[in-house]
Structure 1
Amino acid sequence: MITIKEVAELAKVSQSTVSRALNGHETVKEKNRIKVFDAIEKLGYQPNAFAQALASNRSHSIGMLVGTFDGPYFGPLMHYVEKVVRQQNYHLIITSGHEQYQEEQESIRFLNAKKIDGLVLTSDMLSDGDILDIIEITPATMLMNRYIPEIADQCICIDNELGGFLATEHLLLNGHRRIGCVTGQLSKIDSRERLQGYRNALKEYGVEYDPNLVVEGRFDHGGNDTAVRRLLDRDKSMTAIFCLNDSIALAAYGVCHEFGYRVGEDMSIVGFDNHTYSQYMTPSLSTVNFPIKEMAKEAAKGVLNILNGKKSTGVENRLSPNLIERKSVKNIASVGQIVKKASFTE
């Protein structure tokens, strides 16, 4: 087995210079860095990861806490974070809190026991105070899809309120006034923000908010059929539904079929997230695009920048959603109706 001593002897530098070169220290002269890596190539030296960690006080691992491993949201999130950190020779250790407070706490303790260098965090269960405590232990932390003022530079989120507004506005501009809304869990901040966007759009277009047109569903698949049935049973004059994610919209398609409604004709539907399958639904789903890939990459970049000693995380902290128009919304505006906000005043 080739040792660090042999690399140093071949490169004619000290063992400490080899160690610093392997760990990317800026103090190593470029000519010595070249010598070290030439020697490594000739000898076929494989650095011992544990020894490297001891020498650099780094494990070269990044932790990631997610709510669940299920569904089309967390999969791409994990994929793109891992892709970015691996490009910088870090490994990603992922654990799930299963959307339970105690399990999220246990997951953080597990990651800290692995001596992670940084953390990418998604959590609805942990309090702001809990997260601030975590950052005291692991300063190189980025928080996704949530905002805490004290660590604003370390938070990356999308404008969920704007997304909810855009979805509802699209239905209003197509003549709909009786617009139902199926939310995700209202314990989740992104669900509450999207609902607020729905309410903002109704107000701006002069349509009175009716709480009977809002039912609580879930961002996963559990119970959304029942939630949509409750909504459709409440109001037969409703012509459109804003579903706060695409999984809820998928359930709404099925329930509308049960009720004899044709989506895109008798009932218009807008989703949120723009998951891959939304374009293949029949009819294809109009939805709000959630920039998951961009959020994941910015979070990973932020952690790496902190680890590299940059004063700023250097990331875009607030991402904007956009509306994807497809075939699930019918224009029912009367002939000659002026499509602008004033035309919707009661």
Structure 2
Amino acid sequence: MSTINDVAKAAGVSTATVSRVINRSPSVLPETIARVEQAMMQLGYQTKDNRRLSINQGGDTIGLILSNFNSPFFGLLTQGVEKVARKYGRKLIVASGQYDPELEEEALNYLLNKGCRNIVMHSKAMSDDQLIRVASKLPGFVIVNRYVPGMEEQCVWLENRKGTYLATKHLLDHGHRNIAYISCELEIDDKAERFFGYQKALEEAGISVNPDWVEEVPFGEHGGALAATNLLNKGLPVTALVAYNDFFAAAAIQVFADHGISVPDRLSVVGFDDVLPQCYFTPRLTTVRSPIESMAIHAARLCVEGFESGVSTRFQPLLVRRDSVAQAVST
């Protein structure tokens, strides 16, 4: 077990300085606090109450870690956190983890070294154990869009499986039985949760999931186009489609249209997230709304104002009915 001497040596400071950091003395420079706390985190050093960081330390900034920058989803997430930062007179520092555990940890250390003690993180790559260790030492640390057992009160998350359940059920209610699903290749929690909702709705209707109906593709528009092309090449009697996100849905619709398959006359489609401007789409996309901006606002408030121990924050998805779903045609 690491000692205060180990921490002092790793941080290059005296044991007295480490003690002042632990006791939240205002006389320690932010740069020194960051160096000591990083050493404590790396060594797994814990104080008696396991709470060695103050929510008010590094109080002039809010850190935000995204998975990437090139998506309207993360634009809305950033917008939500920025609103809270402005309200509290904070500066916002943003980094990206690129769905990579090492890059996520690197981004986290970067923000800590910058003096951030209030951090909202969209993490899909670091393990639950890693995040729990950070949360146990950093009260101002909140995970958004992910549920991590063991740090529930520092999580703001969406019930993803309910979203795809609602989407699939909507198609079933319109008489569709052969419903394909476009998933992502990346092994993240959203992937498993959203597939579970799709599977559950089918099973409740007495339909077994056909592996040929499921396409796992890379993120981005190319992935949706690839999935649609693969489904066309299989020649399956698919009449409806649930997509992991709106980008997959939009790209798939275009490919099907290029092959003379109109939506919703011959194929009904439901997306997920509701982040695309509908004025550019015909038909307007029926989708599941993920309230990511509201989630981000709540997460930022928690990291600044604190949280109630043992209480998690779960947001609910909403099915937004538009024009891309029609009654199944009897054959």
Question: What TM-score results when the alignment is normalised by the length of structure 2?
Answer: 0.79
Q: 1:143 matched to which residue of 2?
A: 143
Letter paired with 1:332: A
RMSD of aligned alpha carbons: 2.3
1:313 Cα shift? 9.0
Distance 1:213 1:272 in 2: 18
Q: Which residue in 2 is equivalent to 1:322?
A: 318
Partner SS state of residue 150, structure 1: coil
Letter in 2 for 1:318: R
Asked whether the equivalents of residues 217 and 248 of structure 1 are also in contact (C-alpha less than 8 Å), the reply is: no
Could you tell me which residue of structure 1 aligns to residue 251 of structure 2? 251
**Contact 1:182/1:241 (CA < 8 Å) preserved in 2?**
yes
SS at structure 2 position matched to 1:73: helix
Q: Note the C-alpha offset of 1:333.
A: 6.3
Q: Is the 8 A contact 2:153 2:308 kept in 1?
A: no
Q: Does the 8 Å CA contact 1:119/1:303 hold for their aligned counterparts?
A: yes
The equivalent of 1:123 in structure 2 is 123
Letter of the 1:89 counterpart: G
1:221 is matched with: 221
What is the one-letter code of the residue matched to 1:322? Answer: L
Aligned counterparts, 1:1-346, within 5 A: 57-278=57-278, 280-306=280-306, 311-312=308-309, 317-332=313-328
TM-score, normalised relative to structure 1: 0.76
Is the 1:303–1:313 contact (alpha carbons within 8 Å) kept by the matching residues of 2? Answer: no
The separation in 2 between residues aligned to 1:200 and 1:279, in whole angstroms, is 33
Contact 1:186-1:192 within 8 A present in 2 as well: no
Q: Which ranges in structure 1 are unaligned for 5 or more consecutive residues?
A: 1-48, 335-346
Unaligned runs of 5+ in 2: 1-28, 34-55
In the TM superposition, residue 304 of structure 1 has moved relative to its aligned partner by: 1.2
Contact 2:171 2:240 in 1 (8 A): yes
Map Cα deviations across residues 210-238 of structure 1 (whole Å, 9 max, x no partner).
Answer: 11100102343343311221122224311
What letter corresponds to residue 117 of structure 2 in structure 1? D
Paired AA for residue 188 in structure 1: I
**Structure 1 residue 268, shift from structure 2 partner:** 0.8
Per the alignment, do residues 245 and 278 of structure 1 end up closer, same or farther by CA in structure 2, a change over 3 Å counting?
farther
Query: 1:287·1:323 contact (CA, 8 Å) conserved in 2?
Result: yes
Shift of 1:92: 1.4
Report how far residue 206 of structure 1 moved: 1.4
1:100 Cα deviation after fit:
1.9
Percent identical pairs in the alignment equals: 35
Aligned length: 280
The residue type equivalent to 2:275 in the other structure is H
Separation in structure 2 between the aligned mates of residue 134 and residue 279 of structure 1, nearest angstrom: 42
In 2, Cα distance between the equivalents of 1:150 and 1:313? 9
Runs of 4+ in structure 1 deviating by more than 3 angstroms, as ranges, are 56-59, 310-314
AA matched with 1:162? K
Counterpart AA for 1:282? T
Kindly state the Cα deviation for residue 321 of structure 1 after the two structures are TM-superposed.
0.5
Shift of the alpha carbon at 1:175? 0.6
